[in-house]
Amino acid sequence: MITVYGANISPFVRKVRVFLAEKHIAYKLEPVNPFTAGSDYRKISPLGRIPAFQDDKTTLADSSVICAYVERTNPQPVLYPMDAVAYARALWFEEYGDGGLAPIFGGEIFRQRIVIPLFFKQQGDEAMAQKAIAEKLPPLFDYLEGQIGEKAFLVGDQLSIGDLGIATQFVNLHHAGVTPDSQRWPQLARYIASIHERPSFKAVIEEEEAGLKKAK
């Protein structure tokens, strides 16, 4: 049995969970709060971050490493395109999510509006969130609007790690009350809504919404 370690509201934990769901692989989610985890947790996640992963062969840390490993151990359905250029583009979109969207969606918006008030019982910096929404989201959304166009998926004609890496970040934004304006970014709004409608995303989004409702 596979174990995924982490908290369900982490976009990186969610990426792994959705990836496993798309592969129809069963797993157990072992709750870990990275900010309070003991030193033992560093044996499987040396940087102390979530997610971490364990199967009968190995332990791993980092969502990108975990997904790449699972692709090798469970190649179907293919989530990393075979064609070299398509493969690189899928990795690029995953990185655009991890390295480009996460610091802003997570640190400047989700953290201020959800994590700090709900879990630290303090007031978040709403001015920081508003500024990020007004100034930092538009260029990120403009790029994605241009990349997705009228297509269903970012790379080729099937779901890839690129779609999962982008769409997982938009779940945190959704929890923080922000979705792309469908007048200004019609293709992006349509695309994100359709990926979030997939059973893999729908299940975790509903679970997270129930947890956040309870925490309020």
Ligand X SMILES: N[C@@H](CCC(=O)N[C@@H](CS)C(=O)NCC(=O)O)C(=O)O
Beta-bridge mates of residue 3: 28, 54
How would DSSP label each residue in the chain?
Answer: -EEEES-TT-HHHHHHHHHHHHTT--EEEE---TTT--GGGGGT-TT--S-EEE-SS-EEESHHHHHHHHHHHS-SS--S-SSHHHHHHHHHHHHIIIIIIHIIIIIIIIIIIIIIIIIS-S---HHHHHHIIIIIHHHHHHHHHHHHTT-SSSSTTS--HHHHHHHHHHHHHHHTT----TTTSHHHHHHHHHHHTSHHHHHHHHHHHHHHHHH-
With CB atoms as reference, the residue minimizing the distance to ligand X is 49
Name the residue nearer to ligand X (CB basis): 47 or 85. Answer: 47
Shortest distance (Å) from residue 4 CB to ligand X? 11
Binding site for ligand X (CB under 6 A): 10, 12, 34, 48-51, 62-64, 98
Q: For ligand X, which is the closer residue by CB, 98 or 145?
A: 98
CB of 50 to ligand X, least distance (A): 4
| Distance in Å, CB of 12 to ligand X, minimum | 4
Q: How far is the CB of 186 from ligand X (least distance, A)?
A: 29
Pick the closer one to ligand X by CB: 4 or 159: 4
- The CB-of-154 to ligand X minimum distance in angstroms stands at 18
Q: Nearer Cβ to ligand X, position 4 or 137?
A: 4
Indicate the residue among 67 and 148 with the shorter CB distance to ligand X.
Answer: 67
